[in-house]
Amino acid sequence: MIEMVKIHPTAIVHPKAELDEDVEVGPYSIIEEDVQIGRGTKIGPHVLICRWTRIGRDCRIHFGSTIGVPSQDLKYKGWRSYAIIGDRNVIREYVSISRATAEEGATIIGNDNLIMNSAKISHDCVIGNNVIMADFATLGGHVQVEDYARVGAMTGVHQFVRIGKMAMAGACSKFTKDVPPFTVADGHPARVRGLNIIGLSTSVANPMKLLPPETRARLKKAFRILFRSDLPLKEAIERVRREVEPDPEVEHLLRFIETSKRGICV
- Active-site positions read 123-124, 141
Cα 202 to Cα 109, 195, 216, 251, distances in angstroms: 23, 13, 12, 21
Q: How far apart are CA 108 and CA 100, in angstroms?
A: 9
β pairing state of 96-98 and 66-69: parallel
Which of 90, 87, 88, 86 lies closest to 65 in space, CA to CA? 90
Contacts of 108 (CB under 8 A, 6+ apart): 84, 125, 126, 127
Q: Count the alpha carbons within 13 Å of 203 in the hemisphere toward its beta carbon.
A: 20
Assess contact for 34 and 83: CB atoms under 8 A: no
CA 106 to chain centre: 14
